[in-house]
Structure 1
Amino acid sequence: MSEFRITGKAKLAGVIGHPVTHSLSPVLHNYWLARKEIDGAYVPLSVAPDVFVTAVKGLQASGFRGANVTIPHKEAAFAIADEVDPMARIAGSVNTLVFREDGTIHGSSTDGFGYIANLEADGIDVTALANRGPALLLGAGGAARSIATSLLEKGFQVIFSNRTAERADGLANELDAAWRRHFPKGDAPRLSTVAWDKWEEQLSELALVVNTTSLGMQGGPAPDWTPDLSRASSHLVVSDIVYVPQETLFLKAAKERGLTTSGGLGMLLHQARPGFKAWFGADTEVDEATAAYIRAALNKR
């Protein structure tokens, strides 16, 4: 990989968040830029919510190609976009903005894409998995919203479980209504909820469990979180979007039972691919060299 340099003609993009210091996106995108010898740069942009619109318009006027958007701006990004992808419209949030030459802003949600791409990269046949049983999503935040939308698109029945039951119920009802609006003549989405203290009892019926919460995260409120997987069927796939540590205790427990697992680092890498293509005009590879580079960056933190 050659030395990373930029010129006055550099293609520019970044990540907008508040805070944004935790984001690995600058490390990843600048690695790809250097590896592909593209004259460009990707920068972290700390933007408070009350100036989000001003900041986005300023970036657009300054010649930026676009930006990723992270907490707490995903709904504001959805609102500012002139056009959004269908799945982003159903999810109600956007994490990738592309500034088009005609002055319009295109928004998409790539979290769900990244999640599905990571499963497939791990050798999991997503279509076959959807035919084996429902997917249970733990949590009801923005990640759950995007992942659920992509799973519905793949034909899954989706069940939500959240420590606050009202949030799970609200998300299921909201996605149901959004799906029916977008596909008025299509099949109704299969959405339901289960109480937080009851989901482990349903493991024998499930094909997929996804932890979309911060439970198990290093430095988080419950780093030792390890659910009871004794009722899991042998074909259950267990996945976790947490990537610090790269193998959570949840995934470790699943492996010890012989279950197929999928970690969060791959989702982080794959969700970045569509934005990089749109801003910098090149396809990217999520290969071992990329993963090793990001793992090394994580270990330095």
Structure 2
Amino acid sequence: MKKWFAVIGDPIAHSKSPNMHNTWFDEMNIDAAYIPIHVKSEDLENAVASLKMLGASGWNVTIPHKQTIIPYLDELDPLAKKMGAVNTVLCLPDGSLKGYNTDGAGFVHSLEEVIGNDKKTLEVLLIGAGGAARGIAFALQQYGYHNLTVTNRTVEKAKEIVSELGEGRALSITETEHSLDKFGIVIQCTSAGLGNSEFRLPLSLEKLQEGAIAADIVYNPLMTPFLLEAQMKNAKIVNGLGMFVHQGAIAFRYWLEQYPNTNNMIKRLTDELNRS
């Protein structure tokens, strides 16, 4: 029986996941399909039940469902449980649903492809305190980045992440703007700028240090307003495409126990996004 997979979110039309996974299926001669499904927050419980009933083998979860999907799953991978966020669901043979988080590991892989793995002592700033920020924070800690600061418009949410990490600090946006020149790595972890949407910078980059590493988790457009502004400050840029491809490849391995070609996919999607 042909396997099928999906990605659920709101919005979802911008997603390159179907293109990516269907290309990998073709490259690896796997009889499977992957589709996008637009799911609003109020429809999430019914959507999960429907995916299970209709025989999906698994699916990806994107904004805004990474945390709110958890009550509808039967089991969580220990890291996903610790993070409190899920971006990958596997339908187990007994019909139960298991949640994983591949965002954080995918981000660290993409970051270190660009900057190497010898920058672990730098001060790291995460902007945002949602599911993606939480996943990235725990993954950075796991990979040896311990000088972490989280900033968010609602600083209490940043404090929650820091408390769960057991290290680091939380700052308000204003405090962060005043001390931005202290950070060697600045990571934009919100959906701001997604799909060329109306955008304002989450904080002023006036004090961004020259040569700092500026990363964004948004991959469409490749150069978000945040990255463009950081580039004007002579920062080293890490776009969100590498994270997207690596998190997808890790999910692919959970579903099918095979690892796809990530290098070719990054090149392919970079060309496609540049053309558009």
| TM bracket, shorter-chain basis | 0.7 to 0.9
Q: Determine if the alignment matches structure 1 residue 203 to structure 2 residue 195.
A: no
Q: 1:233 to 1:72 in 2, by over 3 A?
A: closer
Q: 1:139 to 1:298 in 2, by over 3 A?
A: same
Structure 1 equivalent of residue 53 of structure 2: 61
Determine helix, strand or coil for the equivalent of 1:146: helix
Q: 1:151 to 1:212 in 2, by over 3 A?
A: same
Structure 1 equivalent of residue 135 of structure 2: 146
Residue number among 246, 269, 285 corresponding to 2:245 in the alignment: 269
Aligned partners of 2:119, 2:179: CA distance in 1, in Å? 17
**Which range moved further: 99-108 or 146-155?**
146-155
Aligned partners of 2:60, 2:218: CA distance in 1, in Å? 19
**Which range moved further: 261-270 or 69-78?**
69-78
Give the conservation status (yes or no) of the 8 Å contact 2:87–2:102: yes
Q: 1:174 to 1:292 in 2, by over 3 A?
A: closer
Aligned partners of 1:142, 1:231: CA distance in 2, in Å? 25
Residue number among 103, 125, 131 corresponding to 2:121 in the alignment: 131
Structure 1 equivalent of residue 64 of structure 2: 72
Aligned partners of 1:174, 1:259: CA distance in 2, in Å? 26
Q: Which amino acid aligns with 2:213?
A: V
Seq. identity, %: 32
Determine helix, strand or coil for the equivalent of 2:265: helix
1:153-204 superposed Cα distances (whole Å, 9 cap, x missing partner): 2342321222x2xx2322322551x45xxxxxxxxx2232223233243234
Structure 2 equivalent of residue 279 of structure 1: 255
Give the conservation status (yes or no) of the 8 Å contact 2:214–2:230: yes
Which is higher, the Rg of structure 1 or of structure 2? 1
Q: Determine if the alignment matches structure 1 residue 12 to structure 2 residue 4.
A: yes
Q: 1:42 to 1:10 in 2, by over 3 A?
A: same
Q: 1:168 to 1:223 in 2, by over 3 A?
A: closer
Q: CA deviation at 1:255?
A: 4.7
Q: Which amino acid aligns with 1:270?
A: H
Aligned partners of 2:272, 2:242: CA distance in 1, in Å? 15
Q: Determine if the alignment matches structure 1 residue 291 to structure 2 residue 266.
A: yes
Q: 1:190 to 1:245 in 2, by over 3 A?
A: same
**Which range moved further: 92-101 or 257-266?**
257-266
Aligned partners of 1:300, 1:72: CA distance in 2, in Å? 28
Q: 1:293 to 1:83 in 2, by over 3 A?
A: same
1:127-168 superposed Cα distances (whole Å, 9 cap, x missing partner): x32223x21111222221221121222342321222x2xx23
Give the conservation status (yes or no) of the 8 Å contact 1:77–1:95: no
Give the conservation status (yes or no) of the 8 Å contact 1:214–1:220: no
Q: 1:74 to 1:259 in 2, by over 3 A?
A: closer
The TM-score with structure 1 as length reference comes to 0.80
Aligned partners of 1:160, 1:225: CA distance in 2, in Å? 13
Determine helix, strand or coil for the equivalent of 1:198: helix
**Which range moved further: 43-52 or 223-232?**
223-232
The TM-score with structure 2 as length reference comes to 0.86
Give the conservation status (yes or no) of the 8 Å contact 1:77–1:97: no
Give the conservation status (yes or no) of the 8 Å contact 1:97–1:107: yes
Give the conservation status (yes or no) of the 8 Å contact 2:199–2:225: no
Q: Which amino acid aligns with 1:142?
A: G
Determine helix, strand or coil for the equivalent of 1:129: coil
Aligned partners of 1:215, 1:15: CA distance in 2, in Å? 20
Determine helix, strand or coil for the equivalent of 2:98: strand
**Which range moved further: 150-159 or 48-57?**
48-57
Q: CA deviation at 1:253?
A: 5.1
Q: Determine if the alignment matches structure 1 residue 239 to structure 2 residue 229.
A: no
Q: 1:299 to 1:47 in 2, by over 3 A?
A: same
Determine helix, strand or coil for the equivalent of 1:228: coil
Give the conservation status (yes or no) of the 8 Å contact 2:178–2:207: no
Q: 1:254 to 1:19 in 2, by over 3 A?
A: closer
1:29-62 superposed Cα distances (whole Å, 9 cap, x missing partner): 1111111121110111223434433332332333
Structure 2 portions without partners, runs of 5+: none
Determine helix, strand or coil for the equivalent of 2:20: helix
Structure 2 equivalent of residue 185 of structure 1: none
